[in-house]
Structures are given as C-alpha cells and as structure tokens.
Amino acid sequence: MIDTMAVSHTKLLPRMMLLHNRLTYRVLIACILLFATVASGSAQQIRTASQFLQRLSEEYAGFEDYMADIVVTTERERMAGTLYHRRPNLLNIEFTQPQDQFIITDGQFLRVHVPSLNTTLSQRLRSTADAPGGIATAEGLALLRRNFSVAFQASPDFVGVNSTGNFIEPVGPDTQVVNLRFDTSTPDEGYRQLVISVDADYRIRRIVGTTVDLNRVQFDFTNVRVNQGLPDSRFEYVSPPASSTFEDFLFDSAN
C-alpha cells in the first residue's frame, strides 16, 4: 500500500525549497540584465552620477546581443556560467556551477532548472515587461532612475574593483572601475542598495546588491562579447529528462 502522506511530503519538500529560493532567482535575473551594457569612452568626462547614468542609458541602444562569463556569489554559495542575451527579451544562463542548471526565457516563458532537485520552475510571462530582457533597454534604465537614487559611492575616480570593501570576495583581476551606488526605500524592488562597478569602456564588471532582508548578492562579469549574432536556437527550451515542473513560481500568470 502506498503511503500517501510520504508521497505528499516528497512532492512538497522540493516545492518548499524552490519557493524559499524564488526571490534569489528573481533578483538574479533582474540584476543581470539591468546592467548588461556595451559602450566606449572615458568615465572621467562624466562630472555627476546622474550624467554618468544618462551616458550609460544612451549607450544601451548600441547592442543587439550580449554574452559574458558570470559568477554569482552570496555569503553562502557561488554559481558560475555563461550569460547570453538578445534584444529585446531573450535570455539564457548556462551554469557550470552547479552543473546543468540554467535560466532561460524565449520572451513567453521563463524557466529555471534546478538539477539537484531535477525540477524546472516555469513562469508564463503576462507581458513583455515581465520578461527579464525587457529591462535591458533604455526604458529599463529609466525605470531604474525613477525607483532608485544614484550617487558615486565615494568619488567619480577610478579605483580597483577589488580594493573597496563592498565586495564579498574577489573575482578576476583588480580592474579599474567607477562605483555607482543606487538606493531605494521601496521594498518591492527586492534590493535596498546596489553598488555597480563600471570600467573605462562602460562595461559593468561587478554588481553588489543588498536585499531588503540585508543579505548580499554579488555578480561578476568577465569576457564580455557583444553583437555576436546569437541565433534563436540559443534561447530554445529543451526539457531535461524526467524533470518535474512547477508552474507560475513568481506570480499567477492568470491575473
């Protein structure tokens, strides 16, 4: 005879674990593409933080696709992989750590596969604005300006990305960057503060976010490549064998 309580518990446990971590996935997706930037020029020509952000916004329209190696570090774990993005809202993050984990969206569905649970979180997107790639635009940066105040963290001068105290642990060389600090009092943003490190070519090299519950998440970007002509196939979802699926893990798509 099947123990129905045991079966229910077996199904409930991974769901509870996934729901517990869904804010991490939401914040990961939002942060990565909020600052996927390509540009060139001298940051020292920018006199104020608002002008710096405006220049960043203007340069945003200059790329069709973007790829980079990414490392995501929290105070408890580290994830690493390759990020692929194509305008306006296609995203694929293929992780090597954890192996075979991915985050992918084709603009209609967002899916996160967690191999340790052999489970895929699936979210039908209600509109283009819900898609992660939807904020990787000049309009997305305008939204950032409305919801966050911006300032230089200390000064508009270049400093080593690993020389300041805002990072969790160093990743890569001590690249020279300008640090922007974004603050908000709106809890719906997920973060209360973001520190963005931008190099002389206007590439985002690091993002350190402090969540509303005072946890920190760090994103490091290296080996950035743009306008590579990424094909549709890079963003097609292939269901892992025997993977369970949980629908609408971020919000109810029917509402």
Choose the most confident range, by mean pLDDT, from 39-43, 79-83, 248-252.
Answer: 79-83
pLDDT at 32: 53
Residue 100 zone, left/alpha/beta (φ > 0; ψ -120 to 50; rest):
left
CA distances in angstroms from 192 to 23, 69, 153, listed in the order given: 14, 26, 15
pLDDT at 96: 96
pLDDT at 136 over 70: no
Q: What whole-number percentage of the chain has pLDDT above 70?
A: 69
Q: Domain spanning 8-244: which superfamily?
A: Lipoprotein localisation LolA/LolB/LppX (2.50.20.10)
More reliable by pLDDT, 172 or 13: 172
pLDDT at 5 over 60: no
More reliable by pLDDT, 107 or 44: 107
pLDDT at 29 over 70: no
Residue 225 and residue 89: Cα distance in Å, rounded?
Answer: 18
pLDDT at 222 over 60: yes
- Kindly state the tokens that stand for 183: 């603050």
Question: Which are the contacts of 38, defined by CB distance < 8 A and separation ≥ 6?
Answer: 59, 62, 63, 66, 202, 203, 224, 226, 227
pLDDT at 40: 39
pLDDT at 236: 92
More reliable by pLDDT, 126 or 43: 126
DSSP β-ladder status, 244-247 and 119-124: parallel
Q: Band the pLDDT of 74: cuts 50, 70, 90.
A: confident
Q: Band the pLDDT of 137: cuts 50, 70, 90.
A: very low
CA distances in angstroms from 207 to 55, 80, 112, 125, listed in the order given: 18, 15, 21, 26
**pTM as predicted:** 0.78
pLDDT at 8 over 50: no
Residue 132 and residue 136: Cα distance in Å, rounded?
Answer: 8
Q: What is the pLDDT of residues 33-71, one digit of tens each?
A: 554 443 334 445 557 898 887 777 776 667 788 888 999
